[in-house]
Amino acid sequence: MATETQTVYTTSIPTHIPHTSAMQKLFTGKPNVLHKRRRNPFQRLVDCVQLGYYRYEVTFGLYVMTWTEKCVANIIVLTVLGLLLWALVFYFPSILYHKLTRLAWLLTGHSDAGVRVPGIIDKHGKYNSPSSVA
């Protein structure tokens, strides 16, 4: 029993692929079809935000999720970022004050060489939260 083999390769593929009209305009220096007109700053900001969100989706794989999965993932990310911002606003000034007074003590050797930040640190050296200062 003889079996016939067929080749997958064909010789009918052209060796030269002609340029399209857009490519010819691109290479000849005539006005480009792909040229974008100038956009105002608001449109450029919107484009920048859309590009940033697209990069976020592609980097973390959100583009393969359904709409509800994207919402859940984005809510988690926004919650974590919100908590980080909250910690930065409410806890960082007191930590920074403590570390700066410690640095001043290390450099000068005096315990009263504290850093005074008006509005945040009162005259007794006690930290005031931003809500109590206002």
- State the average pLDDT over residues 5-31: 58
Same domain? For 128 and 98 the reply is yes
Q: What is the pTM of this model?
A: 0.47
Half-sphere exposure of 100 (CA within 13 A, CB side): 13
- State the average pLDDT over residues 23-46: 70
Same domain? For 25 and 66 the reply is yes
Question: In angstroms, rounded to a whole number, what is the distance separating the alpha carbons of residues 91 and 130?
Answer: 11
* Number of C-beta neighbours around residue 88 at 10 A: 10
Same domain? For 45 and 97 the reply is no
Highest mean pLDDT among 8-17, 46-55, 115-124: 46-55
Same domain? For 29 and 79 the reply is yes
Structurally, the chain folds into a number of domains equal to 2
Examine residue 9 and state whether it is found in any structural domain, yes or no.
no
Residue 127: strand pairing partners: 121
Expressed as residue numbers, the domain containing 120 is: 92-133
Question: In angstroms, rounded to a whole number, what is the distance separating the alpha carbons of residues 51 and 112?
Answer: 51
Examine residue 47 and state whether it is found in any structural domain, yes or no.
yes
Same domain? For 82 and 107 the reply is no
Kindly tell me if the per-residue pLDDT of 115 is higher than 80.
no
Q: Given this model, what pLDDT does residue 65 score?
A: 94
Same domain? For 76 and 104 the reply is no
Same domain? For 104 and 129 the reply is yes
Share of the chain above pLDDT 90, in %: 36
Examine residue 35 and state whether it is found in any structural domain, yes or no.
yes
pLDDT in tens, 45-90: 999 999 999 999 999 999 999 999 999 999 999 999 999 999 999 8
Q: Given this model, what pLDDT does residue 131 score?
A: 55
**HEC-encoded secondary structure of the chain:** CCCCCCCCCCCCCCCCCCCCHHHHHHHHCCCCCCCCCCCCHHHHHHHHHHHHHHHHHHHHCHHHCCHHHHHHHHHHHHHHHHHHHHHHHHCHHHHHHHHHHHHHHHHHCCCCCCCCCCCCECCCCCECCHHHHC
